[in-house]
Amino acid sequence: MTLTLPPGDFKAYLFDCDGTIADSMPLHYIAWKQALSEYGCNDFTEQLFYALGGMPVDAVVRQLNERDGLSIPMDAFAHRKESLYYDLIHQLQPVPEVLEQIHLQHGNIPFAVVSGSTRESVVASLSALGILHLFDTLVCAGDYRHSKPAPDPFLLAATRLGVSPEHCLVFEDADIGIQSAKAAGMACVRIAQPHERPARA
């Protein structure tokens, strides 16, 4: 399945990581569900997980704490969730149609990864796929003040690459990421989520 790109004179590609480059969302869901159950949160559906896609970990935990009257500690939870994800990372696969675009344009225009995940998590995922070296910069949680859907993450990536926003094309799977890209004045390609994609052979 080849992506249909919008028309435009694009001088940089900006990629979300989880669910866009890396088909990691099913693995992240397993890690989230396990970690949350250890802290007494047992009502975390896959539907809710995807609805919250792109939000920083602390924002999701804050929301679940308020919903369920829990006191899940942010740092300890984040560490545990990441540890569980790393236990599964050997199963990680790329999203084929996005990887195709990366290989088609690598060396022609600069690339950035723009993620709500930690730098450690992004580096681990891209390294597991063997493509970390293909990206000129990584914009991750902690690099910007306002998370997606604010435009800050994508604008920071454009600044680092020296490309104006209107010449950046964003690849995103999450609604708040698409909102962020549009708020930054960038064209966007929506990447289908796992339940929307045909099953692999």
Catalytic residues: 16
Contact 199, 2 (CB under 8 A): no
Q: What sections of 89-169 are H helices per DSSP? A: 96-105, 119-129, 152-161
3-class state of residue 168 by DSSP: strand
The backbone torsions φ and ψ at residue 94, rounded to the nearest 5 degrees and listed phi first, read -80, 165
Nearest to 24 by CA among 97, 94, 119, 113: 94
3-class state of residue 157 by DSSP: helix
Buried b vs exposed e over 161-172: b needs ≥16 C-beta within 10 Å?
bebebebbbbbb
User: Cα-atom radius of gyration of the chain, to the nearest Å?
Assistant: 16
Buried b vs exposed e over 113-133: b needs ≥16 C-beta within 10 Å?
bbbbbbeebbbbbbebbebee
